[in-house]
Structure 1
């Protein structure tokens, strides 16, 4: 079995993003293989943990991936303030005589956006709506690369290292079997320190907010890297309650066309024709110019425009998300009119310092939390979704009542379709099958 087949068999998907199947992504030939260890979102530390504790595995897998895709350059991107991680990776690179190089970045948001990282490393702008492959690169998260190493050892993806931070008794980086309930994770970390709370699954800028009640049914998947516990009346929660109609009315009443949303837009800064202030003007004036509105399709939803740039507290990102949906309903897709994209000359001066962003998000009280490590959950029951990333659902190959072993494949992707296999994360008995497979430990 070659490396691509091992990766597919092990169910490896992008660990730090939308969950694109890794065996599909790596079926190519490129000049650059870039490992993303920049932990794009504030507060998250799972990638740091991986690079600090799994550097040998990451470097070895990087070499094999580099050979597979014919990469002339292997680059590991991380922040220059990650002193321990840099030390660990340099030691591993020397140990294995690796040709991997470190690319050290300042702490700015969103340094871990793959399009921003590619520009930083090779100085080329990925076309709007494009992927790194368009400029001769492939980008994988450090957790994904570790999972590739595991696949090389014939070990499937059955657990995640999750950052649990915020209003929690024992902030931790914890090893969690796939399918474990969020409620169980919080319990293992000592529970919330406040009665009324909401959760952010992922980072504060792009993560999904869920309620305390939803934590009962939500489970950890292959793409989950963090849980942030915040008060129910937190600024970030309250913003989510604003309706689209109210956002439109706010734009009509308060948008001053200062251009800050555009001037600080990370995608605009690398040359993409995305101008949030023009979109807001169209919304405010009910003009709905087709060419301007279409720009919403290339918004990466990083949240800089509304959570940092806008002095009036408006919601350009959520307006863009709304418009994206409407345009896609009509079958409208983005088309580039040129293949020439030039970064803004003032880009270096418009990068957003992560420290300042954390303060703006009213999360600075959590920034210095010390996280416990080497904790692990042993749940008595898991519920493993049949689809955990981009692509088709997997088909169950077990039945209710079957006894399964940890690591056993329980769902496979139909031949010819894009997706990823799923495996039992604990040993036990299959108790239920619907859109997921429930297993109870024996």
Structure 2
């Protein structure tokens, strides 16, 4: 069985993004293979933990991937402030006589955005709505790389390292079986410190905001890397409650067309033809300028425009998401009219410093929380979704009452369809099959 087959059998998807099946992504030949260890979002530390404690495994996996896809350049991107992680990787690179190079970046947001990282490493701009393959590169998250190493040992994806931070008694990086309830993870971390709270699944900029009630049935999946707990009245939780009509009215009454949102847009800075201030103007004045509105389709939804750049605290990102949805419903697709993209000459001066962003987000009190490490969870029950990433869901290959072992295949992708297999994350008995497979521990 070759490496791609092992990856497919293990059910590996992108661990830090939308969850694209990795065996499909790596079925290519490229010049650059880039590992994203930049932990794009503020406060998150799971990638740091893996690079610091699993550097040998990461280096070995990158070497094998490089051979499989014929990459001339193997690069691990991480922040220059990650001193322990840099040293661990350097030691492993020397130990295995690897040709991997480290690309060290300033701490700015969104340094871990795939298109930004490719530009930083290669100097090449991926076309709008394109993928790294368009410029001879492939990017994988450090968690994905660790999963690939385990696939090389014939182990399936059964757990996630999750950063739990904020209003919890014991902020931690926890090893969590896939399908474990979020509430159980919080309990493992000593419980929540405030009665009324909100949750962000992922990072503060692009993560999914959820109320205390909404997390009742939420479980950890292959793409979850963090849980941030905030007071219910926190600035980030309050912003999420605004309706799109209220946001549109704000744009009409308060947008001053300063174009800071455009000046600081990470995609605009690498040469993409996106101008959030023009989209805001078109919405505010009801211009319905289709050529302008179509620019929303290449927004990466990083949130710099509304969470950092806008002096009026408006919501260009939410407007872009709204417009993007309308255009997709109408069947409109983005089409590039040129293959030449010129980065902004002021780009280096317009990068958003992570520390300043954290302060702007009112998250300073959590920045220096000391995270406990090495803890694992042994849940009494898990509920493993049959679909966890991009593509088709899986078909159960087990029945209620069956006894399964950790790592055993329980959901398989139909032949010819794109998706990723799912596996039991604990030893136990199948108790329920719906859109998830419930397993009760033995």
- Residue of structure 1 equivalent to 2:255: 255
Gaps of 5+ in 2: none
2-structure distance, mates of 1:432, 1:289? 51
- Residue of structure 2 equivalent to 1:146: 146
Q: Alpha-carbon deviation of 1:366?
A: 0.1
- Residue of structure 2 equivalent to 1:46: 46
- Residue of structure 2 equivalent to 1:364: 364
Q: Does 1:167 align with 2:170?
A: no
Matches within 5 A, 1:335-414: 335-414=335-414
Q: Kindly report the root-mean-square deviation, in angstroms, between the aligned alpha carbons of the 2 structures.
A: 0.4
Q: Does 1:434 align with 2:434?
A: yes
- Residue of structure 2 equivalent to 1:103: 103
- Residue of structure 1 equivalent to 2:19: 19
Q: Alpha-carbon deviation of 1:266?
A: 0.1
SS in 1 for 2:115: helix
Q: Deviations over 1:363-384 (max 9, x none)?
A: 0100000000000000000000
Q: Alpha-carbon deviation of 1:212?
A: 1.1
Q: Alpha-carbon deviation of 1:211?
A: 1.2
1-structure distance, mates of 2:78, 2:293? 35
Q: Does 1:37 align with 2:20?
A: no
Q: Alpha-carbon deviation of 1:45?
A: 0.1
Q: Alpha-carbon deviation of 1:207?
A: 0.1
Which sits farther off after the overlay, 221-230 or 240-249? 240-249
2-structure distance, mates of 1:109, 1:396? 40
SS in 1 for 2:215: helix
Q: Deviations over 1:271-316 (max 9, x none)?
A: 0000000000000100010000000000000000000000001000
- Residue of structure 1 equivalent to 2:314: 314
Q: Alpha-carbon deviation of 1:215?
A: 1.9
- Residue of structure 1 equivalent to 2:92: 92
Q: TM-score normalised to the size of structure 2?
A: 1.00
- Residue of structure 1 equivalent to 2:155: 155
Matches within 5 A, 1:49-128: 49-128=49-128
Matches within 5 A, 1:184-203: 184-203=184-203
- Residue of structure 1 equivalent to 2:241: 241
2-structure distance, mates of 1:62, 1:181? 32
Matches within 5 A, 1:253-292: 253-292=253-292
Extract structure 1 runs of 4+ deviating beyond 4 A: none
SS in 2 for 1:13: coil
SS in 1 for 2:229: strand
Q: Alpha-carbon deviation of 1:47?
A: 0.1
Q: Does 1:424 align with 2:428?
A: no
2-structure distance, mates of 1:249, 1:161? 41
Q: Deviations over 1:218-272 (max 9, x none)?
A: 0000000000000001111111111111111101100000010000000000000
2-structure distance, mates of 1:213, 1:426? 26
SS in 2 for 1:214: coil
SS in 2 for 1:339: coil
Q: Alpha-carbon deviation of 1:325?
A: 0.6
Q: Deviations over 1:140-178 (max 9, x none)?
A: 000100100000000000000000000000000000000
2-structure distance, mates of 1:246, 1:211? 20
Q: Deviations over 1:187-221 (max 9, x none)?
A: 00000011110100000000001111222200000
2-structure distance, mates of 1:293, 1:73? 38
- Residue of structure 1 equivalent to 2:211: 211
Q: Deviations over 1:332-353 (max 9, x none)?
A: 0100000000100000000000
Q: How many residues get paired?
A: 442
1-structure distance, mates of 2:305, 2:215? 29
Q: Alpha-carbon deviation of 1:20?
A: 0.5
SS in 2 for 1:216: coil
2-structure distance, mates of 1:214, 1:54? 34
Q: TM-score normalised to the size of structure 1?
A: 1.00
2-structure distance, mates of 1:245, 1:195? 30
